[in-house]
A and B are shown apart, each in its own frame.
Chain A
């Protein structure tokens, strides 16, 4: 019974709770037990260490409340009672938010993120806050100040990042759903490495209010799930216009509703044109990754789609542009962590020295690197060559996407050039780590939606992901294509293998 609760989908659990076959409290307890059994505190190499904070009491109270309201016949949302793991950069009143950093250690935010409010309104039950690369800067979750998270498929490997905790929690059956954030691939890449579905919505579809900012013009929150339907359900809950976020898409202003992610989810790919991005494959991608990707392309064709070559001519400039734009914005966004209003303070005789000492001690190496890069890229004499030029490249890439979508319905590529790599493999080489994002940053820069869906196994039997990119507000199309592949592949999302997390 318990193991069945853990492996079921969110949609399945919700249906069983609606039918009163199982209570929300039982579902929540089963997952809290699973966390207890598998998560640890990161000190053992069998600890998944997906969570930084578990709010067991709050979760149980919320579950009881959902059960009570269900008894009284209240109309509850489609995900009511379903547990969820929340990346530790969404503010949630009453629980610490660390963003994986020492500099925010002990901070209890005085307000809720819009996403947190939406989850509560939908009666989705937050189990806790998940581990991440500090300030979402990283692709392996090894940059967390609180120790790395391990990949449930192979505990000696990274789960990807920066939302590695959220990905690992769902892969390890600690929660059926989780939320991450994606700035240059931080949902899609860990989804690929953990054998999950992960979605980065159209920029502006989900409010950023209450998400601790990394790079404001790129950050988007999105779901992880073990099925496409679950991911689409969760994204439906969190998307929507928020007047507190000026960049949130207002359907009235845009003259267009946010997409209905569920209506055509099972419509299949027959008749669709799928463009394979020439620039996002080949050299640098592992053979196993490419083999799995090509197998999926054949499946799309077999399912009735037209698969064509497509080009994002400036895609190869995506990574350098990204590694200028994102650090530039970050250098400014992270200036507020100065030891004055919240978080860490390292004492010093003057305010200026206190600021510098606090920031020097509170930020880890990767965050410092990016603050330095960004500060330099915006500084006098370098702005034009770096920040501004990168913003121009960004325009070219967005134009490339717009042009491509005149010919094709969606674009596809491998999500990540490799399967999950061993812990410590790339920590000494920042640039090698950045190259993990090569396939994901173009969509981030253009603001277009992209979904990573499991795509067969690569090296060592580890998961790989296929990325489906759509035009702005074409999130529904991405899910639909992902769903068709998922159904055709019929992969088991539960980790297996010699070094996998213990079975449920």
Chain B
């Protein structure tokens, strides 16, 4: 059930999503796009806006933009043009951002989502290419912009390729907004064109939120920034909708403004009021020539599209995986590939899904490790399933093996873990028979109880055997041997 706003009101949300591309070099120059390096080390005349420098388009970024566009069902425009968006800001080296304006590379697409079990379509207005800005650090004022007396700028990020995907205002609840962003994340990840990490800023989401009485024209919107997770996005939209409704019901007016989401207080706060629409003085960048995407090139790119999340989910559910698990497999970076690899070893798809989405994901979550960084491969999972199938591991032992896989980042295979950690099941009948005999001899009272008809008490004896074997006894064999020993 999606969260609805107060009765008598309709929420209208449009999303602007910025995605930083993982090209090797920047949008206009050959500087590396690496993050986390010493400040101002990946800079050159172009990305520091030195007088006389000129931009040249990174072909890989154009290709990536077209790929994303096709994946979100947009058309790729045959001719598009870069425009200059003129505004002054110290992190913007030329005091204009090269972006796209009336003719973006891609137009009019949509995403089909599943929100709480129902299909929802969100329209996409456009996808355009632009460049990122530098990064400011603020001195004084405890590192925040307000109250700082000096800002320091690092231009390593300046000129990193950005894609902006602008949705139509088709979203009417927070869950759909979240599903839309997750879907977009999954798509760009599947395409391998971005890390799409909201927490690290490689995916940035701005939400335009307004409310209205159903049937009335669109209300005045506010733009919410500083959304660092999908969860924040949902919370912020819900909060803002409620705030606007309260203002309107109190007879107030919504003021067009940019608001900042404060994760700690769970509120949005006014960042600045837009008195007038900013006059960006867009005009075609005379330093860059038009981008031409002929139909045959677009077909070529389309042919390269890998299986997208929606198709992957459908394939998994067709294979018997349940919907929630399918969504988790597709939505977790690297997991679908691991699933396919495991299934390719002959393992049952449902069993593989259970392990991946269940124990593996659960233990990784406890350990705060991303699956993609876990070192756990599809081959590991395939082997794990095989070891359970052939009786080498019980389910309990297999869970212990997973613990080891998580702890040592998949550096040993499950078979090696089982052997080195002594986790194989004891199903050697002679060895087990001796233990069973000893347990039966050591517990005459329990044996008597069982013989009196309280068959459930056998569990205590199984437990004893397990204890003696440190959990490695094959439970089924143990049961059989105990029954045989007790039966008069």
A–B contact with Cβ pairs below 8 Å: the answer is yes
User: Chain B interface: which size bin?
Assistant: 20 to 34
Given contacts A91-B52, A110-B50, A335-B88, contact A375 B281 (CB under 8 A): yes
B286 and A97 within 8 A (CB): no
Give the distance to chain B from A88, nearest Cβ to Cβ, in Å: 11
Residues of A within 8 A of B88 (CB): 335, 338, 352, 355
Chain A residues numbered 156-173 whose CB sits less than 8 Å from any CB in chain B = none
Q: B289 interface residue, CB < 8 Å from A?
A: yes
Determine the distance from Cα of A162 to Cα of B50 in the docked complex, in whole angstroms: 22
Q: A350-381 CB contact bits vs B (8 Å, 1 = yes)?
A: 01100100000000000000000001001110
A335 to B86: give the CA distance in the assembly, Å. Answer: 8
Looking at the complex, which of B93-101, B196-204, B332-340 is the stretch in contact with chain A? B93-101
A405 vs B89: C-alpha distance when bound (angstroms): 47
Query: What 1/0 mask marks residues of chain A from 217 to 245 whose CB sits below 8 Å from any chain B CB?
Result: 10000000000000000000000000111
Of A34-42, A64-72, A205-213, A465-473, the stretch lying at the interface with chain B is A205-213
CA–CA, A379 to B53, complex, Å?
A: 25
Using CB atoms, name the residue of chain B closest to A325. Answer: B286
For B85, the closest partner residue in chain A by CB is A332
Chain B residue, CB-CB nearest to A338: B95
Contact of B281 among A91, A99, A332 (CB under 8 A): A332
* CB contact under 8 A between A109 and B96, given known A246-B55, A246-B287, A340-B153: no
Instruction: Provide the residues of chain A in CB contact with B289, threshold 8 Å.
Output: 246-247
Contacts A216-B287, A246-B57 hold; do A336 and B86 have CB atoms under 8 A apart?
no
A351's contact among B53, B90, B277, by CB below 8 Å, is which?
B90
Decide if the interface of chain B is mainly helix, strand, loop or mixed: loop
Chain B positions within 8 Å of A329 at CB level = 283, 286
Q: Does B126 contact A (CB under 8 A)?
A: no
Cα(A229)–Cα(B126), bound, Å: 54
Of all chain A residues, the one with the shortest Cβ separation from B277 is: A380
Complex formed: what's the CA distance from A355 to B95 in Å?
11
Per the 8 Å Cβ criterion, residues 69-99 of B in contact with A are 84, 86, 88, 90, 93-96
Of all chain B residues, the one with the shortest Cβ separation from A350 is B149
**When each residue 115-144 of chain A gets 1 if its CB lies under 8 Å from chain B and 0 otherwise, what string results?**
000000000000000000000000000000
The answer to whether residues A246 and B56 also contact, given A332-B283, A351-B90, A379-B281 and a CB cut-off of 8 A, is yes
A249 and B283 CA atoms in complex are apart in Å by: 23
Report whether B52 and A378 are in contact in the complex, using a CB–CB cutoff of 8 Å.
no
Are A332 and B96 CB-contacts (below 8 A) given A110-B45, A379-B281? yes
Max count, chain B CB within 10 A of own CB: residue among A90, A209, A338, A340: A340
| A110, chain B: closest CB distance, angstroms | 7
Nearest residue (CB) in A for B86 is A332
Chain A 371-411 near chain B by CB (<8 Å), digits 1 or 0? 00001001110010001000000000000000000000000
In addition to A107-B51, A335-B95, 19 A-B residue pairs with Cβ atoms within 8 Å of each other are A91-B52, A109-B52, A111-B45, A208-B54, A210-B53, A211-B52, A217-B286, A246-B287, A246-B289, A328-B283, A329-B286, A331-B86, A331-B281, A332-B86, A335-B86, A336-B49, A338-B88, A351-B151, A379-B279
What 5 pairs between A and B have smallest CB-CB spacing?
Answer: A335-B95, A217-B286, A378-B281, A216-B286, A212-B51
20 contacts between A and B (CB under 8 A): A97-B51, A104-B51, A109-B52, A208-B54, A209-B52, A209-B54, A213-B52, A213-B287, A216-B286, A216-B287, A243-B56, A244-B54, A245-B54, A246-B56, A246-B288, A336-B94, A341-B48, A341-B50, A342-B50, A351-B90
Chain A contacts to B: CB under 8 angstroms = 89-91, 97, 99, 104, 107, 109-111, 113, 208-213, 215-217, 243-247, 328-329, 331-332, 335-338, 340-342, 351-352, 355, 375, 378-380, 383, 387
